[in-house]
Structure 1
Amino acid sequence: MISIPEFYRGKNVLITGATGFMGKVLLEKLLRSCPNTKAVYVLVRPKAGQKPKERVAEMMSCKLFDRLRDEQPDCAQKVIAISSELTQPELDMSKEDQDTLIDCIDIVFHCAATVRFNESLRDAMQLNVIATRQLIYLAQKMKKLEVFIHVSTAYANCNRKQIEEMVYPPPVDPKKLIESLAWMDDSLVNNITPKLIGDRPNTYTYTKALAEYVVQQEGSKLNIAIVRPSIVGASWKEPFPGWIDNFNGPSGLFIAAGKGILRTMRASNNAVADLIPVDVVVNTTLAAAWYSGVNRYSRPRNILVYNCTTGGTNPFHWGEVEYHVISTFKRNPLEQAFRRPNVNLTSNHLLYHYWIAVSHKAPAFLYDVYLRITGRSPRMMKTITRLHRAMMLLEYFTSNSWVWNNENTNMLMSQLSPEDKKVFNFDVRQLHWAEYMENYCMGTKKYVLNEEMSGLPAARKHLNKLRNIRYGFNTILVVLIWRVFIARSQMARNIWYFVVSMCFKFLSYFRASSTMRY
């Protein structure tokens, strides 16, 4: 078979969600590693007064594209912005743009989705299901289309513990649900949402499951593959280690832990943390399109599903995540930390609420009191409230484990040439978690918080100051507690005097030993 770069030679590619986290990395990798790609069309909506072309130009000026700009200074000329709003009828695309795409597109990567776990069912259906169906309709008209790649999620079927590489029957007929949503008001939709999603944790996983079925049914005449990544995290290697540009998913929790705000979380230490680096997902996606495109005439036209996960081949657990995050941020602290990093994971309901009260709410309340006294606006309780909402949304995924079948993904890897395996590496068996987690944490510091490494000495000094404050506070607290008991109990007094006398004896012995001469 031809190589992956050769497959993309002269091809016109369409990407949805190109301004999102994964979409950006996909665009960068495609242009850099497949330099003979003819053009990449990206569907972008106008936003905040910016035209699609301006948004794309701004996006491509960010650090993610530095390496690409160095290697291919004219790369931006290949990227063509198409004004489109996926939630609108016919994707809110002009007739001229539709005709252009119909005439020239060879490959479609559908990455656009709402990844908000607390999205309303109506909005999640609109972007994750209805928009997908509309894009399928457009793809069916494309005269040169070779392959359509739909990016789903490994948690689309999280109501199952064993997940195969197949499209499962939907919990409800998507067409009937779409028709019903058309006449329901928002209050009715919100009321029936818990009943509809059933044993799934949120509307995101529910609608992604429906979207897979829509792709299978509506795109039955197309050459389609589905890529299911698990929890997409910072880059492993490309374009450089640790690239991350958002607070979504675990990234926000890592930052909260590094700042010393997150002190406890409901999670199972032994549950598998199925993190997957974004560049691994992108390489899998590009390889999946290559394989389906090259073999489109020699294999049955059934949908290939790729579970892009790490738990089955290179498992990593939430207890290990906590250890590496805290140790990294203690060595390389974030600036202006609220407290020293320290997180306690627990699956015990009572312990969790105890730590929430003692480690989250009490310090936040006291800090807000201090801010009020000093004439400043209180903010820490609001921050804690937002943090708790984020923790609740992720609790389902940090407390459970799943088993994903990876046969198709392993098969895809075996089809790559030695050179393609190097350039488009998605072998997670090679992933060293300790190194990856350190790069991930440092990526949140450098690329999300925009903190310079030159500020590390000051950040370490601040962390030492917080440590001394903590030791001093704990010492005073212990003394006060003991004094209360001493005033009320003879036994407590005896214990207190015994401990104090032992300390004095030890100090006397130490001083005598240090002054001895032989």
Structure 2
Amino acid sequence: MVNIPEYYAGKTVLITGATGFMGKVLLEKLLRSCPGVKGVYVMVRSKAGQSPEARIADMINCKLFERLQAEQPGFAQKIVAVKSDLTQPELDLSPEDQSVLVDGVDIVFHCAATIRFNEPLKDAMQLNVLATQKMLALARRMKHLEVFLHISTAYANCDRELIEEKIYTPPVDYRRLIDSLDWMDAGLVSALTPGLIGERPNTYTYTKALAEYLVQQEAGDLNVAIVRPSIVGASWKEPFPGWIDNFNGPSGIFIAAGKGILRTMRASNDAVADLVPVDVVINATLAAAWYSGSQTLTRSKNIMVYNCTTGGINPFRWGEVEYHVISTFKRNPLEQAFRRPNVNLTSNHLINQYWIAVSHKAPAFLYDLYLRLIGREPRMMKTITRLHKAMMVLEYFTSHSWVWNNDNVAMLIGQMSSEDKKVFNFDVRQLHWAEYMESYCMGTKKYVLNEELSGLPAARKHLNRLRNIRYTFNTVLVVLFWRVFIARSQMARNIWYFVVSLCFKFLSYFRASSTMR
């Protein structure tokens, strides 16, 4: 077998979802590490008055592509934007573009999907299932296609405790569901959704499971592979540590914790946080397409499925995530923090609701009241509401653990040359979680919030001021409590003196014991 860069040399690649988080990293890594690739078509729709070409031009001017720009200044010439809308008939492709893709594409990476977990079922079906069906129809027409790689999610079958690297049959025939949704109105679909998704937590995981089964049923003679990443986070190493460009998933939660807005979250400290760096997923994706494409003549009809997860190989728990996030943001605080970082994780619903009321809603209400008094627009309650919605989406995943089978991933690593293992590294046994979490948190500061490291001294001073304010507030609270409840009651004073004297005797005993030693 040729190595990975040699396999892609001279090939023409088609990518859907190239403007998304994972799609950008895939495009950058493919062009940088496989410089012999002939060209890359990216299917992009017009958005906010911007043409597909303008959107791609803006995208490749971001920080992510700086290393590629330095190493290969002419890389943009290989990228061809193709106007398309995956929700429209025939993908909204012009006859000319269809002809170009059918005649010229060798490899397809289907990354496009909605990542909104609670998307209405009809919309999620359009983007995750019907778009995949249309892409498969186009792929079957391609004259030189060697592999069709579909990006799914490790949580497509999260209603199971053990998830193997195979496609599971869903409880509902996707064809009948597509036909039914066609005539149902939004209200009826909404009423039927809980019964349809069953034990799965949302429409995202449900429709991704349907899409996998659709790929199996409608691939025909196509050479297909499926990659299932778990919770995709910031980059581990490439093109540089900590790159992240959005608030989605855990990133927004980390930022809220760093700002001191998030103080409590419903999660199990011992549940495995199946975070996986985005460059790990992309390296595994490129390797999976290489392996399937290189086996064209000898392959079986089985679709290769890869669980791209960390929990079964290098487990990291939510309690550890909380510790590293808080400690990182205390050492390197975010600018203009609302409070000092501190988060309490609890699996108890009632305790969590109590702390939400005390630590989230009450301070937000008081802060908004203060903003109104000084003539400014209140905003903290809106922020808290958005935060709670994000927390509810993640709650299912922070409270459960799964057992993943990773045999195909291990096999794939074993098939790679020593050089490919270095360049396309996705062996998460080498991942040092403490270092990764620090670079992840610093990445949210630098690339999402655009905060310069030169602002750290001022941010640390601000955090110290918040600490002093907190100590002052607590002291005033104790004094008020004394004046109102203790000083006015003889019984309360007696109890208070008894507790203080007991504590004093306790300390004196230990001091005497330590002196005798």
> Do they superpose with TM above 0.5?
yes
Query: Structure 1 residues 484, 281: closer, same or farther in 2, change over 3 A?
Result: same
Query: 1:443-458 to 2 correspondence within 5 Å?
Result: 443-458=443-458
Aligned with 2:345: secondary structure? Answer: strand
After superposition, give the CA deviation of every residue in 1:5-39 in whole Å (9 maximum; x if it has no partner).
Answer: 00000000000000000000000000000000000
The whole-number CA distance in structure 1 between the counterparts of 2:309 and 2:263 is: 28
Paired amino acid for 1:26: L
- List aligned pairs for 1:211-360, cutoff 5 A: 211-360=211-360
Q: Which secondary structure does the structure 2 equivalent of 1:55 belong to?
A: helix
Q: Distance in 1 between matches of 2:283 and 2:504?
A: 65
1:380 aligns with 2:380: yes
Give the whole-Å Cα distance in 2 for the aligned partners of 1:503 and 1:456. 41
Partner Cα distance (1:335, 1:38) in 2: 44
Q: Which amino acid aligns with 1:70?
A: A
Pairwise mapping of residues 437-476 of structure 1 onto structure 2 (< 5 A)? 437-476=437-476
- 1:187 is matched with which residue? 187
Whether 1:113 and 2:113 are equivalent positions in the alignment is yes
- Whole-Å separation in 1 of the counterparts to 2:492 and 2:429: 57
Q: CA deviation at 1:486?
A: 1.7
Q: Show the counterpart of 2:61.
A: 61
**2:368 alignment partner, SS class:** helix
Which AA in structure 1 matches 2:169? P
| 2:326 match: secondary structure | helix
Q: Which residue of 1 aligns with 2:88?
A: 88
Instruction: Show the counterpart of 2:33.
Output: 33
1:131 maps to 2:131: yes
Encode CA deviations 1:324-376: one digit per residue, 9 max, x unaligned.
00000000000110010000000012211110111001101111111111111
Counterpart residue type for residue 409 of structure 2: T
Take 2:221 and 2:336, find their aligned partners in 1: how far apart are those partners?
56
Counterpart amino acid of 2:422? K
1:512 counterpart residue number: none
How far apart, CA to CA, are the structure 1 residues paired with 2:502 and 2:137? Answer: 82
Letter in 1 for 2:171: P
Q: CA deviation at 1:77?
A: 0.2
User: Do the aligned partners of residues 17 and 477 (structure 1) sit closer, same or farther apart at CA in structure 2, a change above 3 Å counting?
Assistant: same
| Separation (CA, whole Å) in 1 of partners of 2:278 and 2:182 | 36
Displacement after TM superposition at 1:159 (Å): 0.3
State the SS of the aligned residue for 2:297. coil
Three-state SS of the structure 1 residue aligned to 2:154 is coil
Bigger mean CA offset, 379-388 vs 12-21: 379-388
Separation in 2, partners of 1:410, 1:504: 61
Distance 2:309 2:177 in 1: 30
Q: SS where residue 226 of structure 1 aligns?
A: strand
Moved more, 493-502 or 155-164: 493-502
CA distance in 1 between partners of 2:483 and 2:504 (Å): 19
Could you tell me how far 1:481 is from its partner in structure 2? 1.3
Q: Distance in 2 between matches of 1:219 and 1:17?
A: 20
- CA–CA separation in structure 2 for the residues paired with 1:208 and 1:363: 39
**Could you list the runs of 5+ residues in structure 1 that have no partner in the other structure?**
506-518
In the alignment, the residues of structure 1 paired with residue 358 and residue 486 of structure 2 have an alpha-carbon distance, to the nearest angstrom, of: 25
Please give the secondary structure, in 1, of the residue aligned with 2:15.
strand
1:281 is matched by which residue type in structure 2? Answer: V
The one-letter code sitting in structure 2 at the alignment partner of 1:78 is K
Distance (whole Å) between structure 2 residues aligned to residue 492 and residue 414 of structure 1: 72
Residue 15 of structure 1: aligned partner:
15
Deviation per residue, 1:462-516 (Å, 9 max, x gap): 11000000111011111211222223432432455678899999xxxxxxxxxxx
Aligned partners of 1:163 and 1:220: how far apart in 2?
A: 25
- Where 1:370 maps in the other structure, the secondary structure is helix
Cα RMSD of the aligned pairs, angstroms, is 1.5
Deviations 1:58-102 (A, max 9, x none): 100000000000000000000000000001111001010000000
Matches of 1:118 and 1:499, distance apart in 2: 52
Superposed displacement of residue 191, structure 1: 1.0
Q: Which residue of 1 aligns with 2:142?
A: 142
State how far apart, in whole Å, the 2-side matches of 1:261 and 1:104 are.
Answer: 51
Q: Give the SS at the match of 2:227.
A: strand
Query: Which deviations, in whole Å up to 9, do the C-alpha atoms of 1:407-461 show, x marking residues without a partner?
Result: 0000000000000000000000000000000000000000001111111111111
Helix, strand or coil at the partner of 1:42: strand
Q: TM-score, structure 1 length as denominator?
A: 0.96
Residue ranges of structure 2 left out of the alignment (5+ in a row): 506-517
Work out the number of aligned pairs and report it.
505
Identity %: 78
Q: What letter corresponds to residue 71 of structure 1 in structure 2?
A: E
Amino acid at match of 1:115: I
Aligned-partner residue type, residue 225 of structure 1: A
TM-score normalised to the size of structure 2? 0.96
SS of equivalent residue, structure 1 residue 156: helix
- Cα distance in 2 for residues equivalent to 1:245 and 1:40: 22
What SS is found at the alignment partner of 1:269?
coil
Which amino acid is the alignment partner of residue 203 of structure 1? T
After superposition, where does 1:42-57 map in structure 2 within 5 Å?
Answer: 42-57=42-57
Alpha-carbon deviation of 1:246? 0.4
Instruction: Tell me how far apart the structure 1 counterparts of residues 65 and 382 of structure 2 sit (CA, whole Å).
Output: 36
Q: Return the letter of the residue paired with 2:481.
A: I
Q: 2: distance between equivalents of 1:504 and 1:283?
A: 62
In structure 1, C-alpha distance between the alignment counterparts of 2:398 and 2:500, rounded to whole Å? 45
Name the amino acid aligned to 1:361: K
Separation in 2, partners of 1:363, 1:254: 19
Counterpart of 2:508 in structure 1 is none
Q: Which amino acid aligns with 1:377?
A: E
The DSSP-based 3-state class of the residue aligned with 1:307 is strand
How far apart are the structure 2 equivalents of 1:90 and 1:494?
A: 82
| Counterpart secondary structure, 1:135 | helix
Residue type of the alignment partner of 1:82:
V
